C-alpha cells in the first residue's frame, strides 16, 4: 500500500547550528604559492590569495599582475561504525580556485617617504568546495531510529498524526513531520497517555547505514585597495561578496531482518549571497621582519532553503511509501563570525621565508535572523549556536627556499581546531518539517602542503600539492545509547597557477 501526500504547508524549514557552521567554515584554498605554504601569507602579502586573509598584502605588489589557478581534486571518505569499515572513492574533479587582476600604481616621491604606491585589485576565490560522497555502514545494533521517533513523538495523540477529510496533520504547526511519517509508516506504537514506543521487538537488532552526497561551493568576489607608506607600513581594505550554493542529498536506512526495513531520504537545496568588509595592516620594523593584523566583519548572508523528503517502510507485511509535502522556500539571514588574523614572517635574505599565522573565528557569536533582521523567531537556534559551536582557531606555518633566483621550493602545515562542542547534538523542534536528525561533529582539520615555482620578470608558474584531512564523528540521531561513526575525509589537491606581470 502506498500513501502519497502533496499539499501546501505553512510550517518552516528549521536551520540548525550544524548547517550554519558548514556554510562559514572555509578551506585553505587559492593560488598554488599560497597553498604550497599552508596559507601562511598574512604578513607576507604580494600574492593574490594573501589579500583575502590580510588586505594590506595588496600594498606589497610592485608590478601589476594577472593570474589564474586551476586544481585537480582526488578524495576518499573512510568511515568506521561499530567495527564496520567503509571506503568511498570519489571521482577526480577539476575546478577554478582563483582569478585575480591587480593594478600596482607607484607614486613618485622624492625621498621614498609617505604614500609610495596605491594599488587596486579585483579577485575571485573559491573559499570552499562542498563536493563529497560517503557511504557509512554499521553492524547489527540494538539502537534504532524508531526508538528516537517514539521518544520524539511523546505527548502527541494519534488523532493529530492521521489524515481525515477535515484535517491534514502536515498543516499542524505543533506536529513534526518525522512523527507523522513514523506513525503512518507503522514504525511506532502507542502507549498510555499519548506516549509512543518503537514498533520493533524488545530484542530486535537493526543494521543501519547512511549515504550522503554533498555538492556546491562558497565563492568570494572582492574589490580591494591598499597603500604602501614609506615601504615600512602597508594598509588595505576589501569589500567582499560571497555566493553560496549547497546541495545535501541523504538517505538513512535500517534493515530490520526478514525482509523488513525502513529508509528516509532527504534533499536540501541552499542558495545565498553574503557581504563583509576586511581591513588590515602590515608593519615592517626591520628589513627581515614583517608583522600583520587584519579583521573581517561578520558576513551577512541572505539564504533560501528548499527541502524535500520521502520515507519508505516495510514492517508487519505492510509496505508504506510517504512523500512529504513541498514546503514553500524558506528565506532567512545568517550573521557569520567575526574573524581576526595575526601573522609574522621572517625574510631570510634573498633565499628564504618562514611565516606563521593565527586565525580566530568567533563561530559561537553567529546568529540566525529573518529577512527583516529580527532574531526573535530563532531564539532557540541562536542559543544553541552559543552552546554547541566553538570559536575556531587555525594555526598556519609555511616556508619557502629559493634554490636559484627563479626557482623556489615550498612547504607548509595548518591545523583547524574542533568547531563543535564534543557533546553537541542536533535538536529537532515540534514545528520542523525536516526528517533528517543526522549530524556531524567536527573534530579537526589538518593540512600538509608542498610546492615549487618558477618566476621570471614578466611571468610565473607555481605548483602545489595539498593533503587535507577532515576528522568528524557522525550520529544518525541523538541518543545516549548510540555509538557514533568515525568519518575521515582525505582530499588531495594538485594546484597550478599561471601569472603575467606588467
Our CA dihedral for 156, 162, 163, 166, rounded to 10 degrees, sits at -60
Decide if 182 contacts 199 (C-beta within 8 A). Answer: no
**Whole-angstrom distance, CA of residue 188 vs CA of residue 112:** 79
- pLDDT at residue 76, rounded to an integer: 96
pLDDT for 402: 96
User: Quick check: pTM over 0.85?
Assistant: yes
Q: What is the pLDDT of residues 74-88, one digit of tens each?
A: 999 999 999 999 999
**What tens digit of pLDDT does each residue of 409-443 get?**
999 999 999 999 999 999 888 888 999 999 999 99
**Does the pLDDT value for residue 1 go beyond 70?**
no
Give the Cα separation of 472 and 256 in Å (integer).
27
Task: Specify which residues 420 forms β-bridges with.
Answer: 389
The mean of the pLDDT values for the chain is 93
Nearest to 437 by CA among 446, 455, 419, 425: 425
Supply the DSSP string of 284-340, one letter for each residue.
Answer: EEETTEEEEEEEEPPPEEEEEEEEEEEEEEEETTEEEEEE---PPPEEEEEE---EE
Percent residues over pLDDT 70 in the chain: 97
- The pLDDT of residue 6: 36
Query: Which tens digits make up the pLDDT trace of 171-209?
Result: 898 899 999 999 999 999 999 999 999 999 988 999 999
pLDDT digits (tens, 9 = 90+) for 201-241: 988 999 999 999 999 999 999 999 999 999 999 999 999 99
| C-alpha separations of 200 from 1, 138, 142, 260 in Å | 20, 18, 10, 10
CB 37 within 8 A of CB 410: yes
Per-residue pLDDT tens digits for 334-390? 999 999 999 999 999 889 999 999 999 999 999 999 999 999 888 989 999 999 999
pLDDT digits (tens, 9 = 90+) for 287-328: 999 999 999 999 999 999 999 999 999 998 889 998 888 888
What is d(CA 431, CA 175) in angstroms, rounded to the nearest whole number?
Answer: 6
From the list 243, 249, 304, 237, the residue with the least C-alpha distance to 274 is 243
Ordered structural domains, the chain, with CATH = 17-501 (2.40.160.60)
Distance from C-alpha of 219 to C-alpha of 415, rounded to nearest angstrom: 22
Residue 12: is its pLDDT beyond 60?
A: no
Q: Say whether pLDDT at 11 is over 60.
A: no
Tell me the helix, strand and coil percentages in the chain, rounded to 5.
Answer: 15, 55, 30
Half-sphere exposure of 52 (CA within 13 A, CB side): 28
Amino acid at each position: 500500500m502506498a500513501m502519497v501526500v502533496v499539499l501546501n504547508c505553512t510550517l518552516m524549514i528549521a536551520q540548525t547550528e550544524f548547517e550554519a557552521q558548514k556554510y562559514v567554515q572555509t578551506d585553505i584554498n587559492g593560488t598554488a604559492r599560497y597553498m604550497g605554504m599552508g596559507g601562511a601569507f598574512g604578513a607576507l602579502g604580494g600574492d593574490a590569495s594573501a589579500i583575502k586573509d590580510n588586505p594590506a598584502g595588496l600594498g606589497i605588489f610592485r608590478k601589476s599582475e594577472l593570474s589564474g589557478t586551476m586544481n585537480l581534486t582526488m578524495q576518499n571518505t573512510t568511515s568506521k561504525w561499530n567495527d564496520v569499515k567503509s571506503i568511498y572513492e570519489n571521482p577526480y574533479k577539476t575546478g577554478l580556485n582563483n582569478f585575480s587582476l591587480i593594478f600596482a600604481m607607484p607614486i613618485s616621491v622624492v625621498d621614498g617617504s609617505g604614500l609610495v604606491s596605491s594599488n587596486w585589485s579585483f579577485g575571485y576565490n573559491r573559499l570552499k568546495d562542498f563536493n563529497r560522497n560517503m557511504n557509512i555502514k554499521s553492524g547489527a545494533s540494538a539502537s534504532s531510529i524508531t526508538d528516537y521517533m517514539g521518544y520524539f513523538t511523546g505527548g502527541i495523540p494519534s488523532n493529530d498524526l492521521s489524515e481525515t477529510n477535515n484535517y491534514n496533520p502536515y498543516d499542524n504547526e505543533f506536529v513534526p513531520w518525522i512523527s507523522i511519517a513514523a506513525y503512518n509508516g507503522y514504525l511506532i506504537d502507542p502507549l498510555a497517555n499519548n506516549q509512543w514506543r518503537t514498533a520493533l521487538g524488545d530484542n530486535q537488532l537493526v543494521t543501519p547505514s547512511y549515504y550522503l552526497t554533498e555538492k556546491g561551493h562558497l565563492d568570494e568576489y572582492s574589490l580591494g585597495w591598499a597603500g604602501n607608506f614609506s615601504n615600512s607600513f602597508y594598509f588595505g581594505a576589501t569589500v567582499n561578496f560571497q555566493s553560496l550554493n549547497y546541495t545535501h542529498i541523504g538517505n538513512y536506512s535500517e534493515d530490520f531482518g526478514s525482509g523488513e526495513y525502513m529508509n528516509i531520504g532527504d534533499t536540501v537545496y541552499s542558495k545565498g549571497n553574503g557581504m563583509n568588509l576586511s581591513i588590515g595592516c602590515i608593519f615592517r620594523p626591520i628589513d627581515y621582519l614583517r608583522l600583520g593584523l587584519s579583521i573581517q566583519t561578520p558576513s551577512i548572508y541572505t539564504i533560501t532553503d528548499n527541502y524535500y523528503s520521502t520515507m519508505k517502510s516495510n514492517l508487519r507485511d505492510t509496505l508504506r511509501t510517504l512523500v512529504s509535502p513541498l514546503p514553500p522556500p524558506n528565506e532567512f539571514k545568517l550573521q557569520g563570525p567575526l574573524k581576526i588574523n595575526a601573522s609574522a614572517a621572517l625574510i631570510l635574505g634573498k633565499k628564504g621565508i618562514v611565516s606563521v599565522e593565527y586565525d580566530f573565528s568567533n563561530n559561537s557569536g553567529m546568529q540566525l535572523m529573518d529577512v527583516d533582521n529580527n532574531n526573535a523567531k530563532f531564539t532557540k537556534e541562536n542559543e544553541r549556536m552559543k552552546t554547541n559551536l566553538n570559536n575556531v582557531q587555525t594555526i598556519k606555518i609555511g616556508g619557502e627556499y629559493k634554490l636559484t633566483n627563479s626557482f623556489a621550493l615550498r612547504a607548509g602545515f595548518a591545523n583547524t581546531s574542533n568547531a563543535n562542542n564534543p557533546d553537541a547534538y542536533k535538536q529537532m523542534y515540534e514545528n520542523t518539517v525536516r526528517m533528517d536528525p543526522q549530524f556531524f561533529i567536527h573534530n579537526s582539520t589538518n593540512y600538509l602542503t608542498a610546492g615549487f615555482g618558477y618566476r621570471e620578470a614578466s611571468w610565473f608558474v607555481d605548483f602545489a600539492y595539498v593533503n587535507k584531512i577532515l576528522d568528524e564523528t557522525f550520529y544518525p540521531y541523538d541518543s545516549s545509547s548510540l555509538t557514533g561513526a568515525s568519518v575521515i575525509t582525505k582530499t588531495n589537491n594538485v594546484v597550478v597557477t599561471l601569472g603575467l606581470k606588467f
